[in-house]
Amino acid sequence: MNVVLFFPTYRDIYRFIKVNHKCLDTIKGLKTNPMFYSSESFVSFFKRFQTDTFEVCGIYFCYNEWFERARCIKSPYFHPLIGYQEKILNVLPKIVSLDLCSDDTISDTINFFIKYAHRFTKLQSITGSIENLIKFFKQYTNNGENMFIQFPRLIFTSTSNNNFLQLNDQTIDLVNELTRYIRQNGETRIIVLFNTHTSNADLIKRMKGIEYRHRGFINNPTPYCLENYCSFDGSFLIQNTIEINQFNIIINKAYSNSEIISGIPGKSLLINPNQNIAPWSIPESVKKVSLQYISSEIENNMVSLSLISNNLKTLKITECKYLRFKTPFPSLEHLIIHICDYISFEMIDDMFLSLISITISSSYNISLSVSSPKLEEILLFFNEEINICGKVPSSFSKLFIRQSKNCKLPEISFKTLNLLIEESPHLEFLNKSNQRISPMKYEGLSVEQSEQLCNLLLYLPSELSINEMLNPSNHFIFRRFYSVSKSLKIVDNRVIKTEDFVDDNYQFYSQKFYVKNNKNLKMKVYDSKNELHEIPASIRYFELTVSGYNVISIGIMGVGIYPFEGSRHLGWDQGSIGFHSDCGDLFNEGKASEYGIPFGLNEDEVHIVGCGFDTINSQVFFTLDGKKYPSINVRWTDITAGFTVTDMDWIEINYGQNPFSFDLYQYYVQNQRFCIIV
């Protein structure tokens, strides 16, 4: 009997080898390392084990001796290259698979591989953008003069300059240029995956020596349509048409679970609002539908759409305008709307009977009615004119609203909610009679006072009094960490995995951790005797309690410098500094240095890691279990605090509502008492 073991993280390995010696021997006998999701798991694994084959799985690494010990290497990335070029040259002959993607963060590595293409003597497969593949094989064959060398068995491309390949005259020329540098003897497969199929069969015939594939469909496909369809993730792309029923046979045959109905980025699919669009009967296998780049061709005229399904779980609408949805979504659990204008749903009671979450971001004029007894959360970020009516059930537990103005929500009480509302003017809560109510009536607040709080900063539970929140001008108020991820959420200051959790990097932010123009602020802090003191807010500080196995980074980001992409550890990129748990190193804008000790690598350990910013000296510092590490100079004027999580058992946030492990008050007394506070 064959058994397949799946270890996405080193924590899974750790638990497995703790069972008995046979489990440990099994891991020691592995010929190839597990397909880990993160570099942190690779680091932990190769500190203890070594395999003949090192499969990198697209993770970026600084050079390590693991590469020298391995006999075979698959798809490596080295980041950065400085100081390692000669050592990397020695391992190039061991590499059997390579990915030359177009990624600015590793462009030096890609260019290095292309420059020394002739060193890859055992290469069996290669993927990448078509431009990089052309450069690589031009070097590999010495500009086409040496065509009798060993070629990889498989060459695959699906992108051009970070975009999916579109079948046109330009890409045909690129494909034919690539094949000029590859020996055509039937031993090498060249697979080219295009974004959508074409209705012009002559374009396909002009490409020689390749296997043509496509990942999506358009109107009037050629007879090659079915046999050349290819999807790696179960998704199905339909482009530039809203008449979807014609593709149901193919969707059923592919048993696709996710459909993307799309225009072209920068060129929306324009629909005549008077067009009679047939309702789409969504196949049973489809659980997620994404609509993107779709709009009415007549401004201020709505296009009516009907999506019929009893199995659809997620509907995501991105960069669409003037769409009206007429039919109910009885099984829908997650509604996500991003960068949209004028999207509405029929105002009927049974429109959403199973809805759990509503997320709307960067959108204008969105209207819907919800009466789902399962509704748990509403998240609104950077919106205007959002109108959600209906009834909120007793199970409703989370309301996050950030910088969203002129929004209307149904009657809600804040008393038991996990709540965060920031800078959201004219936020109204309406009862069935469409009258404004106070969601904080239980605190004796009027409608006007509640709306005033929403326009400032309100979070619950809170260590601040209502009066302090109503008059925040003299106090530094630590904005609560938030993330747009559905995989992790914060409840009662604890980071919790959701059922959607998969191993990845998830960032949490707290904005306005420091703003240069905000001067003379006060804050409250506990001393070592648990006595509360009010002091100048010259040191901004927070702590994370990490229990068990946790892979995190903690630090700060410079506003206007850091990209805020949401999937990178702090310190990896320009504009960020982070202390990393897996190695104990400090990462400062892409440069790593020894700093502290690793933590969070064992299930039976508890550690408290802290991050502080000294506003007087413009320095960031980190602490671990009450011990302060050296400070680092910072040149940014506006700072966001944050932490990134790859994997976790237990993380709890202390903003100062409880005494810190590090004696911040004593540090203030010793170092800054007589300084001018900024």
Q: Whole-angstrom Cα distance, residue 532 to residue 665?
A: 9
Q: Above 60 in pLDDT, residue 489?
A: yes
Measured in Å, how far apart are the chain's first and last C-alpha atoms? 69
% of the chain exceeding 70 in pLDDT? 93
Is there a contact between 141 and 114 (Cβ–Cβ < 8 Å)? no
Average pLDDT rounded to a whole number, residues 638-666: 93
Is there a contact between 30 and 49 (Cβ–Cβ < 8 Å)? yes
375: left (phi over 0), alpha (psi -120 to 50) or beta: beta
Look at strands 159-160 and 163-164 and give their pairing.
Answer: antiparallel
Lowest mean per-residue pLDDT among 11-20, 528-537, 608-617: 11-20
Q: Whole-angstrom Cα distance, residue 476 to residue 463?
A: 13
pLDDT single digits (tens) 42-71: 877 888 888 888 887 666 666 667 778 888
Q: Above 50 in pLDDT, residue 212?
A: yes
pLDDT recorded at residue 79: 61
% of the chain exceeding 90 in pLDDT? 49
| DSSP state string for 567-593 | SS-TTSSTTEEEEETTT-EEEETTEEE
- All domains in the chain, ordered by first residue: 129-135+149-230 (no CATH), 491-671 (2.60.120.920)
pLDDT recorded at residue 677: 37
C-beta neighbour count of 449 within 10 angstroms: 15
Q: Whole-angstrom Cα distance, residue 228 to residue 74?
A: 28
pLDDT recorded at residue 129: 93
pLDDT single digits (tens) 533-554: 989 999 999 999 999 888 899 9
Average model confidence (pLDDT) across the chain = 88
pLDDT recorded at residue 1: 53
pLDDT single digits (tens) 234-245: 788 888 888 899
For the ranges 103-112, 203-212, 312-321, the maximum mean pLDDT occurs at 312-321
Q: What contacts 129, CB < 8 A, 6 or more positions away?
A: 100, 101, 102, 157, 159, 160, 161, 162
Q: Above 60 in pLDDT, residue 674?
A: no
pLDDT band at residue 80 under the 50/70/90 scheme: low
Q: Above 60 in pLDDT, residue 576?
A: yes
Q: Whole-angstrom Cα distance, residue 254 to residue 266?
A: 29
C-beta neighbour count of 252 within 10 angstroms: 13
pLDDT band at residue 332 under the 50/70/90 scheme: very high
Average pLDDT rounded to a whole number, residues 644-670: 92
pLDDT recorded at residue 439: 94
When comparing pLDDT for 349 and 521, which is higher? 521
The alpha carbon of 148 is separated from its chain's Cα centroid by a whole number of angstroms, namely 45
pLDDT single digits (tens) 120-136: 999 999 999 999 999 99
pLDDT single digits (tens) 261-286: 988 777 889 999 999 899 999 999 99
Q: Above 60 in pLDDT, residue 675?
A: no
| DSSP state string for 267-321 | B-EEE-TTS-PPPEE--TT--EEEEESEEESSTT-PEEE-EE-SS--EEEEES-E
- Characterize 325-360 residue by residue with b for buried, 16 or more Cβ atoms within 10 angstroms of its Cβ, and e for exposed: bebbbbebbbbbbbebbbbbbeeeeebbbbbbbbbb
pLDDT band at residue 492 under the 50/70/90 scheme: confident
CA atoms within a 13 Å half-sphere pointing along the CA-CB vector of 318: 11
CA atoms within a 13 Å half-sphere pointing along the CA-CB vector of 30: 25
pLDDT recorded at residue 54: 86
pLDDT recorded at residue 315: 97
Is there a contact between 653 and 495 (Cβ–Cβ < 8 Å)? yes
Is there a contact between 513 and 640 (Cβ–Cβ < 8 Å)? yes
pLDDT recorded at residue 676: 40
Task: Give the 3-state DSSP-derived string for 316-365, with helices as H, strands as E and coil as C.
Answer: EEECCEEEEECCCECCCCEEEEECCEEEEECCCCCCECCCCEEEEECCEE
Is there a contact between 376 and 397 (Cβ–Cβ < 8 Å)? yes
* Short-list 608, 493, 604, CA closest to 548: 604
Q: Whole-angstrom Cα distance, residue 234 to residue 257?
A: 6
pLDDT single digits (tens) 401-428: 999 999 999 999 999 888 889 889 999 9
Question: What single letter denotes the amino acid at residue 326?
Answer: K
By CB atoms closer than 10 A (0-12, 13-18, 19+), residue 502 is exposed
Q: What contacts 599, CB < 8 A, 6 or more positions away?
A: 546, 581, 584, 605, 607, 609, 624
pLDDT recorded at residue 284: 93
Tokens 């068990």 correspond to what residue? 548
Q: Above 60 in pLDDT, residue 379?
A: yes
pLDDT recorded at residue 236: 82
pLDDT recorded at residue 232: 66
Is there a contact between 592 and 560 (Cβ–Cβ < 8 Å)? no
Q: Above 60 in pLDDT, residue 659?
A: yes
Average pLDDT rounded to a whole number, residues 440-461: 88
pLDDT recorded at residue 60: 63
Packing angle, helices 10-17 and 39-46, rounded to 10: 40
- 610: helix, strand or coil: strand
Q: Above 60 in pLDDT, residue 678?
A: no
Q: What contacts 2, CB < 8 A, 6 or more positions away?
A: none
pLDDT recorded at residue 435: 94
Q: Whole-angstrom Cα distance, residue 559 to residue 575?
A: 8
Q: Whole-angstrom Cα distance, residue 332 to residue 354?
A: 6
Tokens 């209502």 correspond to what residue? 466
